[in-house]
Structure 1
Amino acid sequence: MSMETVMYDTVQIVGSLLILGAFVAALLGRVAQSGYGYLAVNAAGSAVLTVTAVISREWGFILLEGVWALVSLYSLVRKAAGRPVAGAH
């Protein structure tokens, strides 16, 4: 396995762990799904995975992760503007 492959896989794993960590933290009640931390981690993780999907031309994952990143970023912008975010109670 080349160093390039190892780095690529590591970046994918980090992106996945960011999203999964935020999800598990929300399920455990440690973070709010409408909070800055949750939204920022989701945006970062999905953006990383979108980039890796673009590199490998994985169209389904580009769509999935790209939309996830955009929705998370949109929610961050709405929250920063003082507007409601989906999932806020």
Structure 2
Amino acid sequence: MNLTDWLGTIGVLQILLAYFLNVIGKVSSKSLAFILLNLIGASMACFASVLLKYWPFIVLEGVWALVSLYSFINYLSKPRI
């Protein structure tokens, strides 16, 4: 496997880990861990797709990363007690 394969694989595994942990009730979809796993994973998978020049996944992972970034910004902007 080359660097692009590793980036894409690790990115996708992070997204799947976030989903799995959410489904089994270990993390909430509003938790920082869930948001960061998706943000970092989608960004890595998007970057790998850019390196491969594979537009369908550039769009998919790019949108996924942007939605995750939006969630991260919302998470940071909420007051903590």
**Could you state the TM-score of these two structures normalised by the residue count of structure 2?**
0.91
- Identity percentage over the alignment? 33
Deviations 1:24-81 (A, max 9, x none): 0000000000111100110000000110111111111011000000000111101111
Distance 2:29 2:3 in 1: 30
Q: Which protein is richer in helix relative to its size?
A: 2
Q: Does 1:52 align with 2:79?
A: no
Query: Is there any run of 5+ residues in structure 1 with no aligned partner, and where?
Result: 84-89
Distance 1:67 1:20 in 2: 16
Query: What letter matches 1:80 in structure 2?
Result: L
Distance 1:64 1:12 in 2: 13
Distance 2:14 2:42 in 1: 8
Secondary structure, aligned partner of 2:26: coil
Query: Is there any run of 5+ residues in structure 2 with no aligned partner, and where?
Result: none
Distance 2:28 2:68 in 1: 13
Give the superposed CA RMSD.
Answer: 1.3
Larger radius of gyration: 1
**How many residues are paired up?**
79
